[in-house]
Structure 1
Amino acid sequence: MSQIIAKKVAIIERRRSVMDLIWRVLLFLWGLSIIFPVVWILVQSLRSNADFFQNIWGVPTQFQWRNYYEAWTGYNIGKSMLNTLYYVGVGLVLGTFLTALNAYALTRITFRGRKLIWSIIMLSLFLPGINALIPQYILMKTLHLTNNLTGLIVLDSFGENVFFLMLLGGFMSSLPKDLEESGYVDGATLFQVFWRIIVPLSTPGIVTVAIFKFLGLYNNFLGPFIYLSDPAKYTIGVNMYQANMRMSYTADWVTMFAGVMIVMVPSIIIYILFQRRIMEGATLGATKG
């Protein structure tokens, strides 16, 4: 009997090892499909246009570092980077603060209609965001907030993301009520309890939301593309889109690739610095809610 059980266990372990190998190969291929385009763009950004059109899979015979200078000056990346810095910086601070405040109000404060508000928020998950595009544009136009980076910040900051609200709300709801009650006993106001007690304890979740918001704002294209008409106010996403449109009559692809690599640097740095915090914060928010 024991021999039969041992054989079955051996068969199961063998199957598991085969499945583990298959999954690892699939994950390796998936990772390769993500890394390869980035490496290819990096290699092509260091070639000349003549070499590129002769063989798009070739390697640089001589490194053309000037492509990066041409991209920086020709595509006005410096100005668009400053616009993006203002848009992302202010939008990140204001949006994260409002998300934390909304999550606190909906999870820690008891008031009439709270469940109804949560239900409406959850219902919005099933509605395509594109449906709000026309009403939002009419509202922005009426308030004279189009072609304005500040107006774009207001739109993105007050347009709450349900995922971030659920993530941070789930994290805050796990905190013990005794902390707030002790703050009230000491004479703290509602906002002081939020700012001095809840926010410090919710730092992992807030940092996670802030990182996701940064990536979302930095990579945002549709909003700036619709609401900004002045090239001097373009964010980096719209600016690179306009640079791509030039390829129909210039075909200066190596300079375009160099511009793409410059634009990717901030996102890559943020990912390298905060990848562990992203995973930890997302896990905490998911398991404690």
Structure 2
Amino acid sequence: MKEKRNAADIVWTLFLLIWTVSILFPLIWVFYESLKTNREFFQDVWKLPQVMNWINYEKAWQGYGIGQAMINTVYYVGFSTLIGTFLTAINAYILTRLEFKGRKLLWAAIMLSLFLPGINALVPQYILMRDLNLTNSLTGLIVLDSLGESAFFLMMLSGFMLSLPKELEESGYMDGASIFQVFFRIILPLSTAGIVTVAIFKILGLYNNFLSPFIYLSDPVKYTIGVAMYQASIMMQYKADWVTLFAGLMITLLPLVFMYVLLQRSIMEGATLGAVKG
């Protein structure tokens, strides 16, 4: 029995090593390609650069608009996360801690939305955004993503709030606290772990969001990072400046890598606690 377990450990270790290499190798390859000249890139894509051409990063930041796109993305992701997470917390509180008629029916409708492809709402959303004059606007995108509740995030945060003792709210009401005071002073602080987890997942999703900015933004000055990189890749049909494109790609990856390194424990612990409590 022990030999079988050791053999299984070896197999899993090799599998994880292969998986790790398959993830890291493309990143490493893109990094050293971004430091080449275009001549070196076309001569041999596997050869290391003779000189580190950090100028490629400056060209990508300015020439391809990566710098402006990064500022736009920080504005879009930051406000969408703050507003959206706050609204998710309020919705989770109302659906899990308050009793009212139609609550179960509302939950059923929310669960039903999980089976509906989001692409189905694309046309009515665009018509609504157009009629409200919110197209070609980063603020309009913030409104769209903040008010568009996700059933996944709602279920995740509801798991945290459901685990809180009901006596906490009852004691607050006995002391004369209102519903909002109970929410802000009792429920919200005790649900911090779940709120942080939801916020992290929202940041990752919004940073990688391409479809909505691509559809609603027409001014290149307002592009987010995903749309800016797409436009840069389209330019490669007319100019062969691949090393600068690789440099821009590395710039877009750095925030995600740093975020994962700094917050990986919060992501894992928050997701695990949400699964247990839910």
Q: TM-score if structure 2 supplies the norm length?
A: 0.98
Aligned to 1:143: 132
Residue 208 of structure 2 corresponds to: 219
**1:55-112 alpha-carbon deviations (Å, 9 max, x no partner):** 1111111111111111111011221111111111110100000011111111111111
CA deviation map 1:216-260 (0-9, x unaligned) = 111110000000011111111101110110011111000000011
- Tell me what 2:148 maps to: 159
Alpha-carbon distance between aligned partners in 1 of 2:9 and 2:114, rounded to the nearest angstrom: 35
The CA distance in 2 between the partners of 1:206 and 1:128, in whole Å, is: 25
The two structures, once aligned, show a CA RMSD in angstroms of 0.9
Q: Give 3-state SS (helix, strand or coil) of 2:84's partner.
A: helix
Q: 2:47 is matched with which residue?
A: 58
Amino acid in structure 2 at the alignment position of 1:109 = L
For 2:135 and 2:200, the matched residues in 1 are separated by 27
Equivalent residue number for residue 96 of structure 2: 107
Number of residue-to-residue matches in the alignment: 278
Partner of 1:6: none
Partner of 1:126: 115
Q: Does 1:183 align with 2:172?
A: yes
Report whether the alignment pairs 1:270 with 2:270: no
* 1:163-242 alignment, distance < 5 Å: 163-242=152-231
Separation of aligned partners in 2, 1:142 and 1:37: 44
2:122 corresponds to which letter in structure 1?
A: L
What SS does the corresponding residue of 1:87 show, helix, strand or coil?
helix
Contact 1:81 1:235 in 2 (8 A): yes
Gaps spanning 5+ residues in structure 2: where? none
Partner residue in 2 for 1:72: 61
Contact 1:88/1:218 (<8 A) preserved: yes
The sequence identity of aligned pairs, in percent, is 65
Check conservation: 1:47, 1:64, Cα contact below 8 A. Answer: yes
**Which structure would you say has the larger Rg?**
1
Q: Which amino acid letter does the alignment assign opposite residue 111 of structure 2? A: M
Structure 1 contact 171–286 (Cα < 8 Å) conserved = no
Q: Match of 1:198, as an amino acid? A: I
1:41-52 paired onto structure 2 within 5 Å? 41-52=30-41
1:92 — aligned with what?
81
Separation in 2, partners of 1:57, 1:144: 49
Post-superposition shift, 1:163? Answer: 1.1
Counterpart-to-counterpart distance in 2, 1:177 and 1:253: 59
Taking the aligned partners of 1:55 and 1:286, their CA distance within structure 2 comes to: 48
| Aligned residue identity for 1:133 | L
Who is 1:4 aligned against? none
- Deviating beyond 2 angstroms after TM superposition, the runs of 4 or more aligned structure 1 residues are none
Q: Which amino acid aligns with 1:30?
A: W
